[in-house]
Amino acid sequence: MDEAKDTGPVRGRVWRAGVLESTEFPFAAISDFLADPDVLVWVDICDPSSQVLTQLASELALDPLAVEDAVSHGERAKVTRYSSHIFLTAYAAVVSPEPPEPPEPPKPSRQAAADGTAGRPDRRPALHLTRVSAFVLPRGIVTVHASDGFDMDEVVGRWEENSDLLKYGVGALVHGLLDMVVDSHFEAVQVLDDRIEALEDVLFEEESLSHAVQRQTYGIRKDLVALRRVVLPMREVVNGVLRHRQDRDAPTELNPWYDDLYDHVLRATEWTESLRDMVTTIFETNLSLQDARLNTVMKKLTGWAAIIAIPTAITGFFGQNVPYPGFQQPFGFELSTISIIVIAGLLYVTFKRRGWL
């Protein structure tokens, strides 16, 4: 690489025969390391500028489409094979353990008041997704990510824990990266599962919290939809990596590790799908409970209305301007009072036994 284009030291690591040799090296030395058959290289680029990516693509003969996908927004998780390298994109997930409190609603503008959207606070997303892309070369890997949550130090820690795998080549680095991403999916699903269980406990409480349940259910369902979009494609990503490894006759010693990784991907996918069904069930159950509570209220109102109708009917009858038994006599008043008490009492006892009151 032309020294004039050297951007200085970069973050990365160099292993020789599976043993760590260097943790810092100049940008211009990347291609020299990759040309050495005994060396394994990792280069990390955080929030890359177009100039750095252009230099890197020129030096390592990276495909322009892959470089564009590494910085484009909205790319789905995928793996693509080019003539000189493999490009993959995945998303790590983090979910806050507790449902976030909505921010204080701002003062409504005239337009908001006119649109009827005033007083609706925006919900802070509980799920945070961080994209990481990787250029997988025959003897090295280049990771590209933003500085908004993806912890490459954890990936490095996994490589160090399984340092004996590094002697099998770049497949060990790819496995450690994807394993960290899949584990983040597991942790996110676990947090969402705990929140769903908390909703189930609130759902059947005597005190009605239907509004809160509906709001939290909608939030969890929204997070699950976003998480599902990054979990499901991981099957294609891992399958693609396995297929490319077979095409290159890669060492078979890593096959059990990739099989275990693929099993984790399937488990995370199935877990995500089951949680979607659970959220739907909670939403429908909440609606059913609201209908049941409404029926209970209506029965109580109907019972009291029937009881109140008795005094109204009797006093209305005795208020007629025609002669009736006890007309203008003291026992007429006593008869009407006794009738009200007896009939209303019988209705009250009957409704109480049936659970209407």
Query: pLDDT tens across 146-169, in order?
Result: 876 678 888 988 898 888 888 888
Higher pLDDT, 120 or 208: 208
pLDDT 10s digits, 303-336: 777 777 777 776 665 665 556 565 666 666 677 7
Residue 1's pLDDT band (cuts 50, 70, 90): very low
* For range 18-36, the mean pLDDT: 82
pLDDT of residue 231: 92
Higher pLDDT, 222 or 319: 222
Residues 6 or more apart whose CB falls under 8 angstroms from that of 78 comprise 88, 89, 233, 236, 237, 240
Residue 208's pLDDT band (cuts 50, 70, 90): low
pLDDT of residue 117: 40
Residue 175's pLDDT band (cuts 50, 70, 90): very high
Residue 347 has pLDDT above 70, yes or no: yes
% of the chain with per-residue pLDDT over 70: 77
Residue 248 has pLDDT above 80, yes or no: no
Residues 14 and 3: beta-carbon distance below 8 Å: no
How far, in Å, CA of 175 to CA of 181, rounded? 10
* For range 221-232, the mean pLDDT: 89
Tell me the sheet residues that pair with 129: 93
Q: What are the structure tokens assigned to 93, written together? A: 């997930």
Distances (CA, A) of 72 to 54, 67, 177: 14, 9, 20
Residue 238 has pLDDT above 60, yes or no: yes
Give the count of beta carbons closer than 10 Å to the beta carbon of residue 307.
Answer: 19
Superfamily designation of domain 3-105+119-292: CorA soluble domain-like (3.30.460.20)
Higher pLDDT, 27 or 19: 19
pLDDT of residue 3: 39
The pTM is what? 0.72
- Which of 156-160, 200-204, 249-253, 336-340 has the highest average model confidence (pLDDT)? 156-160
Higher pLDDT, 15 or 345: 15
Residue 176's pLDDT band (cuts 50, 70, 90): very high
* For range 218-242, the mean pLDDT: 88
Residue 178 has pLDDT above 90, yes or no: yes
- Which of 49-63, 79-93, 281-295 has the highest average model confidence (pLDDT)? 79-93
* Average pLDDT, rounded, for the chain: 77
Residue 107 has pLDDT above 60, yes or no: no
Residues 6 or more apart whose CB falls under 8 angstroms from that of 235 comprise 262, 265, 266, 269
pLDDT of residue 73: 79
How far, in Å, CA of 212 to CA of 216, rounded? 6
Distances (CA, A) of 219 to 7, 51, 100, 210, 243: 44, 40, 10, 14, 37
Q: What are the structure tokens assigned to 145, written together? A: 């990510």
Residue 127 has pLDDT above 80, yes or no: yes
Residue 70's pLDDT band (cuts 50, 70, 90): confident
Higher pLDDT, 104 or 339: 339
Angle value at C-alpha 96, between 228 and 154, nearest 5 degrees: 80
Distances (CA, A) of 150 to 10, 132, 289, 342: 18, 8, 42, 76
Torsion of CA 182, 188, 190, 196, to 10 degrees: -140
